[in-house]
A = this chain, B = another copy of it.
Amino acid sequence: MDSQNVKDTVKQIFTEYLNAHGHRKTPERYAILDTIYSIDGHFDIDTLYSLMADHENFRVSRATLYNTIILLINARLVIKHQFGNSSQYEKSYNRDTHHHQICTQCGKVTEFQNEDLQRAIEQTKLSRFSLSHYSLYIYGICSKCERANRKKMKNNIQKKEK
């Protein structure tokens, strides 16, 4: 599915959601949805705010962004993550299931896919709970920080030997 096709489809899903829940179909809401589906990867409210002001030339208040994102989450078109300080979001329609690798040192988030893992999670029997979605966060040290640490440690030892 190409990008425009996805945008049209999510627009339709959102319209149905708004209708079903008696919400109004405002231009702000569609502009926000469109912008979000132009973003690859994660974003936070501030980034979205700037993106809309700069590129789409459509100014919406932060309050509206927060309000609309809640609707989009309920409509299953956006998912919310909470690594780092501010909440991060990402589009969820037509995206491959993926997991997150987070470096505890530099905070860098990397996505990866693993079908076995995905299958294992989805096949897990949950008692008295109807699953909607899930997030797996794997914490550790990325190779870049690992290298930096080794270098640092080496320097420290050399200093001590002096």
Assembled-state Cα–Cα distance A95/B151 (Å): 34
Whether A104 is near chain B, meaning CB under 8 Å from some CB there, is yes
| A137 (CB) vs chain B CBs: closest residue | B135
| Chain A interface category by residue count | 20 to 34
B141 lies within 8 A of A132 (CB): yes
- Minimum CB–CB distance from A148 to chain B (whole Å) comes to 13
Copies of chain A in the complex: 2
A139 lies within 8 A of B133 (CB): yes
Complex contacts, A110 vs chain B, CB 8 Å: 129
Complex contacts, A116 vs chain B, CB 8 Å: 120, 124
Assembled-state Cα–Cα distance A76/B137 (Å): 17
Assembled-state Cα–Cα distance A36/B136 (Å): 25
B141 lies within 8 A of A130 (CB): yes
For chain A, what secondary structure do more than half of its interface residues adopt (helix, strand, loop), or is it mixed?
A: strand
Whether A131 is near chain B, meaning CB under 8 Å from some CB there, is yes
Our pick among B82, B101, B129 for the contact of A101 (Cβ within 8 Å) is B129
Whether A162 is near chain B, meaning CB under 8 Å from some CB there, is no
A143 lies within 8 A of B117 (CB): no
B136 lies within 8 A of A135 (CB): yes
A126 lies within 8 A of B139 (CB): no
- Minimum CB–CB distance from A67 to chain B (whole Å) comes to 17
Given pairs A82-B82, A130-B141, A136-B136, 5 additional interface contacts (CB within 8 A): A101-B126, A129-B140, A130-B140, A131-B139, A132-B139
Q: List 11 A-B contacts (CB under 8 A).
A: A116-B124, A117-B124, A129-B141, A130-B146, A131-B140, A132-B141, A133-B139, A133-B140, A134-B136, A134-B138, A135-B137
